[in-house]
Each structure stands twice: as C-alpha cells, then as structure tokens.
Structure 1
C-alpha cells in the first residue's frame, strides 16, 4: 500500500513490513518514491534487474519498520557531457542510478571549450560546428597521446525534453549549465563575433581538442548579451520550472513510476562563471573601453557585470542563477547561489553573505580524481580520493553558525570527463564512491573522524551485488580488473597518488 502522510516532510518516508502486507508512507510523492527505493533494497539484488531471472519466484522481506528523511535537500551529481559526449540513453541510465541512490539533482554540464551539446534552433552552428572536435587529447593534458578520431554529438531539443520529463518521474531536478563568460571556445568557433576579435583571430578558432584552462573568453558586448539571452530563452523552454506536466505524459517512463510533482530545484540555471582568464580583456581596446563605459574598476568587476546581467534576466523570468564560486569575484549577484568547488572558502563566504550554497569541493568529491595510487590505476589526474575520503566528506563547514549553515542547500559530487571517453570509464570513476557520497548527502552521520568505515564497507558488500545487477562497471575494492587498467605512459605516473606537475583543476 502506498499513501501520503502529511505529517512527514515531503521527502521523508516510512516503510512498514508486517506479516500480511507492506505499507509505504511518504510526506509527498517524492517521499513515497524514496520509500519504494528502500523497499527494493530489502528485496535483494535481484530486484535491481530489468526482468526477473527466476520466473515464479516468491519474494520475501524481513518484517521491519523504517522511518527516514534526508539531511539535505540538494543531493546531486554533476555529469560533464561536454568534454566527452554521453548519448541520451546513457543519461537516462544515470538518472536510474541516481534514483536508486536517492539522489535528486542531475547537474548537466552541457557546454565547454571542447563541445556544445544542446540544440539551439536560432543558432544552428552551435551544434553544426560547435559539437564536434577533430581529435582528442588522450588522458591528462600532459600526455603525449592523441585519439585522432573526431569526437562529438549533441542532444536534440526533444532529447532534452525526454531527459527532463523522465527525471521528473524519478523526482530528480535537472539543472542545465551553459558556461559564460569563460569555457566558451566551442561557441566562439561556431560564431566568431562572440570572441574578442580585436586581439584574437576568432575566425581561425576550432573546437578545442585538449584540456586545461582556455584563454578564449566572450567579448563584453551588447551583441554577446543578446546572443546568450536567445540561448537562455530556449534553455528555459526546455528546462521548465515545473516539469511535472510534461513528465506525467513522458514516453518511455516506467508505467509503475509515481506521477511527478514539481522537483525542488528545477528553476535553477547554472551559468558556470569559473576559470575566466581575463588576459584578452586586459589587452582588448574594446573591452577596456567597455569597462570605462560601465564605470567598472577592473576586469573582475567586468566578469561580475556579466553574471549580474544574467542574474537579473533569469530572475525576471522566475528563475534562479547558480554558478561556480568564482562568481564571488568582483561582487556576487544578489540572487545568485554558489557551487563551492575550490574547497570550502567560497561556500563559507557566500553563506555568510546570505547566499545559498551547494558544497562540492574538489578535495573531497571530484570523482574524476584517482581512487588509488597503484600503478594499475587509469592515467592520473588530480590527487587520490579514496572511498574512505568520500565517506568522510562533511558538507557543512564547522566555521558556519547555525543560521549561516541553513544556506547550505546540500552537496554534489562532480564527474568531469576529460579522462572518461566512454560509459565504462564513467562508471569506473563514479562507483563505488557515489554510494559513499549518497549516504553522506542523505544521512545525519557522526563527525567525519567518528564515522564507522568498517560498517560502511560491510554494507557495501551487499551493495556491490546491486551494482552488478544494474550493470555498473565499478572499481572493485581489490583494484581494477584487467580490462579496467590503463596505466599512464612511462614517466607520467606522478608517483603513488601524487598528481603530475601542473595538474589542471578540471572545471
């Protein structure tokens, strides 16, 4: 029996298994859905397969009473489909995996220097030109290896509508990211006037084929603002603030899935705002003149002008801007929320100023970083982040007061795909660490140093069998399987767990 209990919080649930029946109560439709995920866990790993492997099997579950509720409202995964494109079916599969772990936000990183992945009908060259690169750096940017095959792809507008509608059926918000003003070479390659044409031959630019921080940034002109307003107009249509109506009629959604309600963060739009190299603005006479015209003190304030413009533009349409913590530079837009990735400092600053924060520090929850320092691990990027490191992640910094801590919406693990050229590599980097992150984001755990890692690893023994049933190509606890190994070229290992000199921050 499924039913609503308004005495519970919207995402809270109660599962009661008695001798003659099962009852799942939820404070809202999402709570009922999360309770159903817990009940599926009680049924055992076979319940995670798409079809029964033992026809006619009698299912049994222990008699229990479980009442639970999430600690954080925002429990997210950032999936970078710009660096390496993930086809639509792969994204839908990851939505299923998020739902199985009671995660409720998919932050979809759709544009970057290496590719533009979303169809914008009024600007067709964004995908005709911007979604394909001629070749790809293989591994870390310091690697001597290249994949000489063209790489690319994009989602049609109907693909995006399907993804958003299916996510809403699973009570997951999809937050799109369209990068401005940096990480924009793919867009500039498609429409050269977007770049700083007085200091760069933007017509000669192509979609970038390597990794790191790119110097090509958008020009601070009215034409660029109008262009991106056009982009965002179509984005808002594709990512509605209330996707429930579309979701309730979505093709391909499971017939037994609960009818969707408004997902809590569907009104957010991520604008990037990170790693904006300002050298071109400093050299550009046009940018310098623009800075003086606007009465701005420096290039940091010019970046803030970009962010503030779109904060107001989105707010006028009932939406909310969120960006990486560099949007603090030059003054934070009044309504903006912050994704704190460069450690905790940006999140602390934002929360103290009264802005909402999603904690996703690189040092704890960047899942593209290596899981172990052994020589059989895939080509290194960043530092070692073990399963234990992720399990000991604490989203709320102790420096915050109780009032300030209320601005921490939650936490997010980030999967940047420079070194992940296919689904198997994404699985390997993401799991099992995403399971540890999911427990941190949902549960009220003890202080990091008091968390029982031995108990978590014991429970993971059962969860690995669920991941097997789901077809997840995770990293086994004993180390990579033979087909998962991809050692770095000689001289590039950076030692056991130490990054290569100049390891990029990945965002």
Structure 2
C-alpha cells in the first residue's frame, strides 16, 4: 500500500519491480518555463525530508539521482467532476487541482492541467518519499478534490505566532492539500494586524510594553508565501463582540444596547454599537485598511457570541459590517450567528455549534460526572444560562439554507481541534502536556472521534456547502509546539474528509497515519503520539524530533 493522506481516488500498481530508492539522491525538475517558480517551491517543501540528498536547484544533474518531474499536461487531467463549494481564490469556477502521478524506475512524474494540480501531486510525492520504506513501488495515482474550500483556522489573537511560525503552518496545510489559512486576528486577548489608519490598536501598552502584531509588510509577505503554495489567507476581524482590545485602544466607545435583565449578571465585554458615529467611523477605517491589505477576495467579519447586545443592535452591526466589506471590494463571510441579520445566496456562514453539539449536562448529577467542567468552575446555573444564550443556534443552519446561503462546515463536535485528548489515548510521556492543552469545557476525546466525521452527516446538499474548515483556537496554547500537538494527528483526518468528501475508513486511515509521525519529526513538528495508532518504527513515538 501507499500511506498517502488523503487517500487518492485511484491507485494502480504498474509493475512488480521496485521503483526509485527513497534513500538516495533526488532532484526536482521541470522543463516547462511556466513552472520555474513552482519548482523552487516544491524544492523548499521537500528540503526538510531529504536534507543533503536533495540536489540544489540549478546544479549539474547527478546521473544516479532520481527525479521528481513537474509537468503541465492537459491530457493528464483525469476528468473527474469539478469540486463543489466556493473557490477561496474568488474564481467563479474552482481551479482544477486534479493530477496524475506516475512512479517509474527513475523517479516520480507529477502531471496536471494547472500549476495547482502539479503542486498537489508534489505533496503526494512527498508522502510517498517519506512513508514508503527504501523503495517506492511503481504505481500510478489519480486524484482530485471533492470540496473547493479546505481550510484551517489558527488563532494568533489569543496565542501569538510569529510570521515564521505561520509559514510553518502554511507548509503543514499544503502538505495535506488544504488551501485556506483563516487567521483569527482579533479578540479580547489581542489585536494582531497593524492598521495604518488606527495606530492605537498596536501601540505599546500603557506601561510601555511592546505588543506582538504583524506589520503590513509581514502580512503581505505571508500572503505571498501562502499563494506560492496555493493557500489563500482569509483575515478575520471579529466584531461586534470579542472587542476588548479595540475598546482598550479606543476608550470611550459606548456599549451596544443590552437585553433587559442581562447587565451585571455574567461577565462579558460589551459588544460595539455601530449605531454610534465614532464607533462606525473607527470600524470603517479598520475594514478599509484590512480590505486594502488583503490580496484574497474574502474578509471574515466574525459575528459570533455577541453577548450583551440586543437583537436589533446585533442585526444592525452585521448588516453594516457586510456593507462595509463589500464597499471596499471584498466578499464578507461570518460565523453562523450572522445569518440572523438576514442571509441570501451571496452570503457564506460558518457553522460551528448548536446546543446538542455543546454536550453540556442538565442536572447537578450529570455535572458531577464531568470533571473537566467542574475544574473549569462551571455551575448548573451558568450552564443553564449558556444553553439559553446558545438556544438560537439550533435554528441557524436551517436559517442559512432557507435564505439561500452557503455553509462553511466547522462543527465544534469534530472540527474544533482545540479539544483536549482523552487521557486513555495519551502516552505516559506526554500526559502533562496533554493535560494542559484544550478548551476546558469540551469533553476530551480521541483521534478516532475526529476521523469519523462525515461531511454528509449534517444533511446539507453538496451545492449548498461552501467548504470545510478545521479550527484550533488558542485559549490554552503558549507556543507553536502546543498548536501542532493539538493539530497532529487529527488535522490529516479533517483534510481527508475535505478532499474526498467523506470520512476516511478508520482502520485504513490509522495505518496510513502510523507512517506520518516521521514526516512531522522531519519538519520539527510536535505531535500527540496517540496510543490509538501503532506508530511505524516506534512503540511510543516522540512528540518532538
């Protein structure tokens, strides 16, 4: 077998003889001048895995080196149906990412009708090189994605990641054929993007401490780096709630009108009131700059958990945020709650929660059986209030579909990868790390749980699905290692479902995953060596190289 993830649609053994050696010298080559930049990108992606066995670009060919060849060839396109969903690059029709990969005695040929397809083939070649033992069997793989939008949300607002660390995550996304990196750039804990028109947002703290943020130059460079890997960056400016850092930077902005009886009962940051002229002006300046700095067609406006705003205030805010983004030349999307401000065929709403999905107890007896909730200080009264606040989420999905909108699937139940790992799947050496990671009120679960998610389980017609997006929010993280430990080994299963349109077969998938630990180690990525997986080459694989 091969250990490629996602599993290709077609895999055919083409000869009984052994193919090229994985342990010898390799070079990356294309005779097509249109692929020169892509050749350099593929070379960089392979470098951590091949080291000095990878010939420098432009060097005299080693006659003993195997070759990874990139080629554009319309005849190589397999002719599968076009992917469903929204193209993150904004085209009316998603780019053709299909490819045909052939392993022969002298190397690997990656052929596709587009550079994007050739790059997806190269990612598959990397999996073969890293997981096939001493020789790669001669074979042909033919593949294409099911969903056009395949994303990963990361949260530098709460857990800052340097530009270099974001590049590491872009490479990880590309390794598993994801094509969107959604940046949650603002929240109560931090504001991470320089806004030239509102410099107060990233000015030093009152005590003079510099704030961590991305300059406009950083942001442009990250977008260029991602684009080279056929990944689109989608920035999120989360409003009108989650706005503590904006309020700190611009003191005096009035709170949104609050529902009767809520004020003072529970702690929350008052959402913004976009009916206030000063607030509306500041938000317009922010979104103008964000839209101007963003190369891609989408800007995420947030719209979730606006605790403390009346329905009328929330609706007005969402409509104003959408209008501003459209006026500045971008396409808005928001969390599912934004559908309550009205939704039409041009709108995308990111579905993340309903009350059953929250998996919360109803009684004191049920709460007593949930140690993670007790440790987080939850009470029956607070949980009842939480359920009441989230009760409208039970209608959001139907509201989106009834209005003609498109659904970006990010269900908390399976695709929120900031969920703690179940203790029974954590190896002894990683128990202390696993115990501090994960959102404290989610029930801890294993890798198999995430891998069994089926996009079709929500009953949404394919033509109404915008795409699939995993999330890793950062309430518990302090480093890149923490982020990748939450992501790995769960992210590849989400990527598999997004690429193929269905849940991977668990027994087959964990057999494939068993060979990917070495890929992560070669890239310097920490991961959770779940006991659900018989890691290749070790009984208790290390979490770091």
Is 35-44 or 316-325 further displaced after alignment? 316-325
Spell out the pairing of 1:325-344 with structure 2 (5 A cutoff). Answer: 325-332=336-343, 335-343=346-354
Mapped contact 1:42–1:62 kept (Cα < 8 A): no
2:297 to 267, 273, 280: 267
**1:231 aligned to 2:286?**
yes
Query: Aligned to 1:73, what secondary structure does the other structure show?
Result: coil
**Aligned counterparts of 1:302 and 1:197: Cα–Cα separation in 2:** 7
Spell out the pairing of 1:18-37 with structure 2 (5 A cutoff). Answer: 18-20=104-106, 22-37=108-123
Paired residue total? 395
- With the length of structure 1 as denominator, give the TM-score of the two structures: 0.72
Superposition RMSD in Å: 3.0
Spell out the pairing of 1:477-488 with structure 2 (5 A cutoff). Answer: 477-478=530-531
Mapped contact 1:72–1:410 kept (Cα < 8 A): yes
1:113 paired residue number: 188
Query: Aligned to 1:367, what secondary structure does the other structure show?
Result: coil
1:92 to 159, 167, 177: 167
Q: CA deviation at 1:353?
A: 2.3
1:68 paired residue number: 143
Query: Aligned to 2:136, what secondary structure does the other structure show?
Result: coil
2:373 paired residue number: none
Distance 1:17 1:197, change over 3 A: closer
Q: CA deviation at 1:461?
A: 1.3
**Aligned counterparts of 2:397 and 2:105: Cα–Cα separation in 1:** 48
1:385 to 406, 426, 445: 445
Mapped contact 1:308–1:333 kept (Cα < 8 A): no
Query: Aligned to 1:369, what secondary structure does the other structure show?
Result: coil
Over residues 398-447 of structure 1, what are the superposed CA-to-partner deviations in whole Å (9 max), with x where a residue is unaligned?
533x4xx31212211111101001111111111111111111111243xx
Q: CA deviation at 1:267?
A: 0.7
Query: Aligned to 1:62, what secondary structure does the other structure show?
Result: strand
Q: CA deviation at 1:62?
A: 2.2
**Aligned counterparts of 1:25 and 1:351: Cα–Cα separation in 2:** 38
- With the length of structure 2 as denominator, give the TM-score of the two structures: 0.67
Query: Aligned to 1:179, what secondary structure does the other structure show?
Result: strand
1:433 paired residue number: 490
Over residues 250-296 of structure 1, what are the superposed CA-to-partner deviations in whole Å (9 max), with x where a residue is unaligned?
xxxxxxxxxxxxxxxx2111011001012xx5xxxxxxxxxxxxxxx
Mapped contact 2:256–2:272 kept (Cα < 8 A): no
Spell out the pairing of 1:205-216 with structure 2 (5 A cutoff). Answer: 214-216=268-270
2:333 paired residue number: 322
Mapped contact 2:101–2:121 kept (Cα < 8 A): yes
2:463 to 393, 396, 406: 406
Over residues 145-173 of structure 1, what are the superposed CA-to-partner deviations in whole Å (9 max), with x where a residue is unaligned?
xxxxx895101110000100100000001
**1:360 aligned to 2:410?**
yes
Query: Aligned to 1:338, what secondary structure does the other structure show?
Result: strand
Spell out the pairing of 1:285-324 with structure 2 (5 A cutoff). Answer: 299-324=310-335
Q: CA deviation at 1:396?
A: 3.1
Spell out the pairing of 1:421-460 with structure 2 (5 A cutoff). Answer: 421-445=478-502, 452-460=505-513
Distance 1:122 1:330, change over 3 A: closer
Mapped contact 2:485–2:528 kept (Cα < 8 A): yes
**Aligned counterparts of 1:68 and 1:116: Cα–Cα separation in 2:** 40
1:2 to 51, 70, 87: 70
**Aligned counterparts of 1:21 and 1:481: Cα–Cα separation in 2:** 33
Question: For structure 2, which runs of at least 5 residues remain unmatched after alignment?
Answer: 1-68, 83-95, 259-265, 358-393, 425-430, 533-538
